[in-house]
Structure 1
Amino acid sequence: MTVQRVLAVDDEEYNLEIIEEILDDQGFELKMVDSGPACLAVVGEFKPDIILLDVSMPDMNGYDVCRQLKANPETEDIVVMFVSARGTVEERMEGYAVGAEDYIVKPFSHDELKSKLMKLKGYLDEQEDLQKQVDDATSTAFNAMANSSEMGEIVNFVERIGQIWEPQELGKELLSCLNRFGLQSNAELRLDDGVQHFSLSGGCSPIVVELFDMLKTRGRLHEFSQRLLVNYEKVSLLILNMPEKEPEKHGRIRDHVCFLVSVTEQQLTAIMTKQALQKRQAQLGEAVSRIEAQFRELISAVNQTRSDNEKVFRALQEELEERIPTMGLDDDQEAFIYQKVDDTIQRSVAREESVENLQAAFSRIEQDLAKLLN
Structure 2
Amino acid sequence: MALQRILAVDDEPFNLEIIEEILEDLDLQLVTAESGPECLEVLESFSPQVVLLDVSMPGMDGYEVCRQIKANPATKDIVVMFVSARGSVEERMEGYSVGAEDYIVKPFAHGELKSKLSNLGQILLEKESLEQQVEDATSTAFSAMATSSEMGQIVNYIEQIGQIDHVTELAQALISCLSSFGLNCNMELRIDDDRQHFASSGLCSPIVLELFEILKSKGRLHEFQNRILVNYENLSLLILNMPENDEEKHGRIRDHICFIVSVTEQQLLSILTRRELQEQQQNLSEVISMVHSKFTGLMSLLDDNRKHNEEVFRSLQEQFESRIPTMGLDEDQEVFIFTNVDQAIQNSVAREESITKVRTAFAEIEADLSLINKK
Which runs of no fewer than 5 residues in structure 1 stay unpaired? Answer: 1-145
Which has the higher relative contact order, 1 or 2, with Cα contacts under 8 A spaced 6 or more apart? 1
Q: Deviations over 1:325-370 (max 9, x none)?
A: 1112233332222222112111111111011101111111111112
What displacement does 1:279 show? 2.1
| 1:283 aligned onto 2:283 | yes
Determine if the alignment matches structure 1 residue 181 to structure 2 residue 186: no
Give distance in 2, aligned partners of 1:214 and 1:147.
Answer: 40
The aligned counterpart of 1:161 is 161
Give the Cα separation in 2 of the matches to 1:158 and 1:227.
24
Deviations 1:84-139 (A, max 9, x none): xxxxxxxxxxxxxxxxxxxxxxxxxxxxxxxxxxxxxxxxxxxxxxxxxxxxxxxx
Residue type of the alignment partner of 2:268: L
Deviations along 1:276-306, whole A, 9 cap, x unmatched? 2222222222222222211111111111111
TM-score under structure 1 length normalisation: 0.59
Counterpart position of 1:222: 222
- What's the offset of the Cα at 1:373? 2.2
Amino acid at match of 1:159: E
- Give the corresponding residue for 2:260: 260
Amino acid at match of 1:351: R
Q: TM-score, normalised by structure 2?
A: 0.59
Measure, in 2, the Cα distance between the counterparts of 1:279 and 1:236.
26
CA distance in 2, matches of 1:206, 1:342: 87
The one-letter code of the counterpart of 1:152 is: G
Moved over 4 A (4+): none
Structure 2 residues without counterparts, runs of 5 or longer:
1-145
Report the equivalent of 2:121: none
Equivalent in the alignment of 1:357: 357
**CA distance in 1 between partners of 2:170 and 2:288 (Å):** 34
The CA distance in 2 between the partners of 1:148 and 1:190, in whole Å, is 33
| Residues in 2 aligned to 1:194 and 1:344: alpha-carbon distance in whole angstroms | 66
**Map of 1:367 onto structure 2:** 367
CA positional deviation for 1:147 = 8.2
What SS class does the counterpart of residue 223 from structure 1 fall into? strand
Distance 2:149 2:210 in 1: 34
Question: Are 1:337 and 2:330 counterparts?
Answer: no
CA positional deviation for 1:247 = 1.4
Residues 1:327 and 2:327 are matched in the alignment: yes
Q: Which amino acid aligns with 1:273?
A: T
1:330 and 1:209 map into 2 onto residues whose CA distance is 100
Percent of matched pairs sharing the same residue: 59
* Distance in 2, Cα, partners of 1:331 & 1:194: 86
Q: Which has the larger radius of gyration?
A: 2
- Aligned equivalent of 2:94: none
The alignment's C-alpha RMSD in Å is 1.7
Find the residue that maps to 2:198 and give its secondary structure: strand
Q: Which moved more, 1:277-286 or 1:339-348?
A: 277-286
C-alpha distance in 2 between matches for 1:288 and 1:192? 28
Aligned to 1:151: 151
**Cα distance between partner residues in 1 of 2:189 and 2:280:** 23
* Secondary structure of 1:233's aligned partner: coil
Partners in 2 of 1:156 and 1:319 — Cα distance? 88
Distance 1:343 1:205 in 2: 86
Q: Distance in 1 between matches of 2:244 and 2:356?
A: 80
Shift of 1:218: 0.8
Residue identity in the other structure for 2:324: I
Deviations 1:25-77 (A, max 9, x none): xxxxxxxxxxxxxxxxxxxxxxxxxxxxxxxxxxxxxxxxxxxxxxxxxxxxx
Distance 1:266 1:353 in 2: 56
Aligned to 1:302: 302
Shift of 1:263: 0.7
Deviates more, 1:256-265 or 1:200-209: 200-209
- Using the alignment, how far apart are the partners of 2:287 and 2:297 within structure 1? 15
Name the CA distance, whole Å, in 2 between partners of 1:294 and 1:228: 58
Structure 2 residue matching 1:306: 3-state secondary structure: helix
**1:101-250 alignment, distance < 5 Å:** 149-250=149-250
Q: CA deviation at 1:153?
A: 1.3
SS of residue paired to 1:186: strand
**Which residue of structure 1 lines up, in the alignment, with residue 347 of structure 2?**
347
- The superposition leaves residues 152-173 of structure 1 with CA deviations (integer Å, 9 ceiling, x where unpaired) of 2111111111111111111111
Query: Using the alignment, how far apart are the partners of 2:173 and 2:147 within structure 1?
Result: 18
Give the letter aligned to residue 222 of structure 1: H
Q: How far apart, CA to CA, are the structure 2 residues paired with 1:159 and 1:326?
A: 94
Match of 1:142 in 2: none
